[in-house]
């Protein structure tokens, strides 16, 4: 009975350790995915952001690895953490990419070591000692019982291992879906950035043409007013059509067009009113 209790206790501890290693594998997978994004990012801020996400996952993996007893994976985590910490706050984009690349290499090594820890099955050795005073029949019965218990325990361990393997595959699928989601978000963000850049170029073109046309219109009306001896118009036209290009960052193309349409109609109306006033003199 004492031997059986020890066996059950050992099985429970082994299952807990395997579960912790599987969780560590999941966190390491997230760290690997974020590091890959940091490494392939062309944007300096995105590069540092994904490096920080990788560090968060690595710190969780480190705690779990220490709990599950996969000691051979510790050095790879420490090396990966050291490089990703450098990648999170580099002097420039090239330095960040350099450290992210080395961090990615250590993470690949870490995944291999964790794969070994999560896939290896726990083995249990049983040893029975018969008491000299016990009858032969009792010893035989005890041996048979322990053999049956051993078989049941091994079957339970195998079932647990299969369950853990299924969980690992599920985590890998979740990682794949996460990577696809991040990639899709990046593609949408890049598309929005490109569209906004194209729109801004159209706004700048419209702004410069509209302002130049208004200045030309002012010059022509001043010449006409001078010919007609209408000082009201000349006093009215004082420019002021130009704006800083930066204001377009807070407008859409439609808003920019509406602004210059309104400015044009208001200017023309003032000119018409001034000319009308001259005609009554």
Confidence (pLDDT) at 128:
36
Whether 16 shows a pLDDT value over 70: the answer reads no
Per-residue pLDDT averaged across 220-249, rounded? 87
Q: Are 220 and 234 in contact (CB under 8 A)?
A: no
Q: Is the pLDDT of residue 122 over 60?
A: no
Domain 2-122+145-192, CATH homologous superfamily name and number: IL-4 antagonist (De novo design) like domain (1.20.120.660)
Number of other residues whose CB lies within 10 A of the CB of residue 170: 11
pLDDT higher than 70, residue 4: no
- CA 136 and chain centroid, separation: 68
Return the higher-pLDDT residue of 264 and 233.
Answer: 264
Question: What does the pLDDT look like over 266-276, one tens digit per residue?
Answer: 988 988 888 88
pLDDT band at 144 (very low <50, low <70, confident <90, very high): low
pLDDT > 80? residue 49: yes
Do residues 175 and 25 touch, judged by C-beta distance below 8 A?
no
Give the confidence band of 147 by pLDDT, cuts at 50, 70, 90: low
Report the share of the chain in percent with pLDDT over 90.
35
Q: Is the pLDDT of residue 2 over 60?
A: no
Contact in structure between 251 and 203 (CB atoms under 8 Å): yes
Q: Where are the domains of the chain?
A: 2-122+145-192, 198-279
**If you average pLDDT over residues 177-183, what whole number do you get?**
86
pLDDT of 120 > 60? The answer is no
Q: Over the Cα atoms of the chain, what is R_g?
A: 38
pTM over 0.75: no
Residue 54's nearest CA partner among 20, 94, 96, 91 is 96
Tokens of 100: 């992210």
Dihedral angle of Cα 10, 14, 20, 24, to the nearest 10 degrees = 150
Mean of the pLDDT values across residues 208-219?
Answer: 92
User: What is the model's pLDDT at position 5?
Assistant: 38
Q: How far apart are CA 74 and CA 24, in angstroms?
A: 11
Residue 124: pLDDT band with limits 50, 70, 90 = very low
Q: What percent of the chain has pLDDT over 70?
A: 81
Q: Which pLDDT band holds residue 247 (cuts at 50, 70, 90)?
A: very high
């Amino acid at each position: 009975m004492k031997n059986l209790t020890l066996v059950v206790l050992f099985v429970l501890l082994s299952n807990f350790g395997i579960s912790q290693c599987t969780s560590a594998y999941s966190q390491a997978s997230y760290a690997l995915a974020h590091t890959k994004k940091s490494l392939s990012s062309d944007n300096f801020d995105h590069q540092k952001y994904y490096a920080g996400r990788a560090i968060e996952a690595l710190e969780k993996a480190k705690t779990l690895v220490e709990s599950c007893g996969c000691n051979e994976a510790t050095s790879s985590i420490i090396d990966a953490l050291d490089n990703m910490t450098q990648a999170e706050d580099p002097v420039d984009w090239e330095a960040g990419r350099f450290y992210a690349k080395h961090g990615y290499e250590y993470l690949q090594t870490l995944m291999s070591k964790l794969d070994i820890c999560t896939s290896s099955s726990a083995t249990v050795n049983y040893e029975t000692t018969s008491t000299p005073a016990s009858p032969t029949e009792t010893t035989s019965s005890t041996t048979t019982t322990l053999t049956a218990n051993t078989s049941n325990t091994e079957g339970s361990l195998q079932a647990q291992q299969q369950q853990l393997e299924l969980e690992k595959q599920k985590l890998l699928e979740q990682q794949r879906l996460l990577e696809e989601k991040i990639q899709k978000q990046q593609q949408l963000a890049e598309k929005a950035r490109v569209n906004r850049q194209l729109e801004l170029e159209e706004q700048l073109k419209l702004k410069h043409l509209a302002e130049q046309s208004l200045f030309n219109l002012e010059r022509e009306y001043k010449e006409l007013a001078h010919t007609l001896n209408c000082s009201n118009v000349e006093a009215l036209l004082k420019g002021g059509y130009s704006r800083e290009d930066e204001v377009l960052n807070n407008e859409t193309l439609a808003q920019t067009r509406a602004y210059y349409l309104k400015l044009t109609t208001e200017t023309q109306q003032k000119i018409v009113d001034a000319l009308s006033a001259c005609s009554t003199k």
